[in-house]
């Protein structure tokens, strides 16, 4: 006759412990994979929206009749005069972290709902990074603490030379965390090629 004895308590506890360790390892692996996927998709969204904003500004500046510094109802702004009959357009940082394109300057009311946010349109909310109290070198040089990380300005050029516009901005996904992992910086020098530049 065979021994019909069951598992002892110690054997059950060892089996339960090994099962718990295996399940914990699988959950840890799943969590790490999900976190990495989330960060990758956030970086892809930032790259896509930032590139679209950069292309939109570049297209306007390169086809402008003239470019000048002006107070376009926002910090670090520039006025781009388009060839007639197109209206001039301002690019500036909005109060809520938008990267704004403002047509029909100066007819739009100051502080009005005139910002076409070049960072909008994705599944994630993307905003300009705000310069922290301890300066972040991902922000353009000269941006003060509390200001959006956006800088656009024409550079001085000699007569007959095309105007060059230096553009820099840093963006992040507005998910509430400030860990600095999902931040991308864009910098470019653009040449205004219109007749009057």
Cβ-proximal residues to 50 (8 Å cutoff; 6+ apart), any chain: 119, 126, 169, 171, 184, 186
Residue 139 in contact with residue 170, Cβ under 8 Å?
Answer: yes
pTM of the full predicted structure?
0.73
pLDDT of 169: 93
Q: Which tokens hold the place of 143?
A: 């941006």
Residue 95 in contact with residue 81, Cβ under 8 Å?
Answer: no
- The pLDDT profile of the chain, 197 residues, written as one tens digit per residue, is 566 666 788 888 888 888 899 888 888 888 887 777 767 777 888 888 999 999 999 888 888 887 888 777 667 788 887 777 777 888 888 888 899 888 766 665 555 567 889 998 777 788 998 888 888 888 888 888 998 999 888 876 655 555 788 889 999 887 655 555 688 899 988 887 665 56
pLDDT of 112: 57
Count H helices, E strands: the chain? Answer: 1, 9
How do beta strands 150-155 and 164-173 pair? antiparallel
95-131, pLDDT tens digit by residue?
Answer: 888 998 887 666 655 555 678 899 987 777 889 988 8
Q: Which tokens hold the place of 46?
A: 């930032």
Ramachandran angles phi, psi of 149, nearest 5°: -80, 80
Cβ-proximal residues to 130 (8 Å cutoff; 6+ apart), any chain: 97, 146, 147, 148, 149
Cβ-proximal residues to 39 (8 Å cutoff; 6+ apart), any chain: 181, 182
């Amino acid at each position: 006759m065979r021994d019909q004895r069951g598992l002892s308590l110690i054997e059950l506890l060892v089996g339960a412990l090994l099962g718990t360790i295996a399940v914990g390892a699988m959950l840890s692996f799943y969590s790490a994979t999900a976190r990495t996927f989330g960060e990758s998709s956030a970086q892809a969204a930032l790259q896509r929206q930032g590139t679209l904003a950069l292309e939109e500004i570049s297209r306007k500046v390169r086809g402008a009749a003239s470019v000048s510094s002006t107070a376009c109802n926002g910090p670090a702004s520039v006025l781009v005069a388009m060839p007639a009959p197109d209206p001039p357009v301002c690019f500036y940082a909005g109060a809520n972290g938008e990267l704004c394109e403002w047509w029909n300057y100066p007819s739009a009311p100051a502080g009005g709902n005139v910002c076409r946010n070049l960072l909008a349109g994705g599944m994630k909310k993307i905003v300009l990074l705000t310069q922290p109290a301890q300066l972040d070198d991902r922000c353009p040089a000269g941006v003060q603490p509390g200001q959006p990380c956006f800088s656009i300005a024409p550079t001085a050029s000699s007569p007959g030379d095309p105007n060059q516009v230096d553009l820099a901005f840093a963006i992040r996904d507005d998910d509430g965390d400030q860990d600095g992992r999902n931040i991308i910086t864009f910098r470019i020098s653009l040449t205004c090629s219109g007749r009057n530049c």
